Amino acid sequence: MFEPVDAPHRTRIKFCGMTRVEDALAAAAMGVDAIGLIFAARSKRRVSLEAAAGIREALPPFVASVALFMDNDADEVRATIDRVRPTLLQFHGDEDDAFCAAFGLPYLKAVAMGGDSNGNGGGEAPATLIARWPRAAAFLFDSHATGEAGGSGRTFDWARVPAEFARPFLVAGGLTPDNVFDAIRATGCWGVDVSSGIEGETPGVKDIAKMRRFVAEVARADRR
């Protein structure tokens, strides 16, 4: 009988807001676990179905593709799944568990941590979050306030991440190569999600040097 391997923790990495095939391939070559394709109407990094399908089809095996929505209607979500064939879905709006789980794919649920703790999901206990979205594969704690789109480049107080959370969770919002080490050490997160922090001047166009530094800082945090 096989014995479980006591392996060191490895923080998963998602690079979000991909708009170009070459950036997605560079991320894959660096060992990034997942790339995010945004279909939220208000996002500066929103991609067309054709562009997203091209990126998805170019990815090598074992690199996940995540389709991100924010209060899109069900027909939009289905059309995206049919054309792009993402690995996972990610929801940033007011979607409930029934909606998120209706498409036959695992989903991540974003929790707004911006603003004050009385006006958003960041003030809810872990058990409450899991009860509201019981079929979520993981949660993503992001720095936007309730009703806002993500990708703001702002951080939030990492001390507000619930302790001893019973599901995998990612931290997002304002992460950069300069602070991701501290974010991982502060939260013990399962994964990190970055978009603007690995870009230059243009939203959706990634900076290869920043991408490489980000991956290196995650690895340094894991070694510690």
Q: Hey, which residues are catalytic here?
A: 16, 142
Q: Which amino acid is at 13?
A: I
Beta-bridge mates of residue 161: none
Beta-bridge mates of residue 65: 35
Could you give the CA distance from residue 113 to residue 193 in angstroms, rounded to a whole number?
14
SS (H, E, C) 101-129: HHHCCCEEEEEECCCCCCCCHHHCCHHHH
- Token pair listed for 65: 């593709």
- Tally of CB atoms within 10 A around 222: 13
Look at the block and give the residue holding tokens 């974010």. Answer: 183
Look at the block and give the residue holding tokens 């991540």. Answer: 108
| Helix 180-187 × helix 208-223 angle, to 10° | 30
CA 176, 181, 186, 190 dihedral sign is positive
Please list the alpha-helical segments (H only) found in 30-177.
49-58, 74-84, 97-100, 126-132
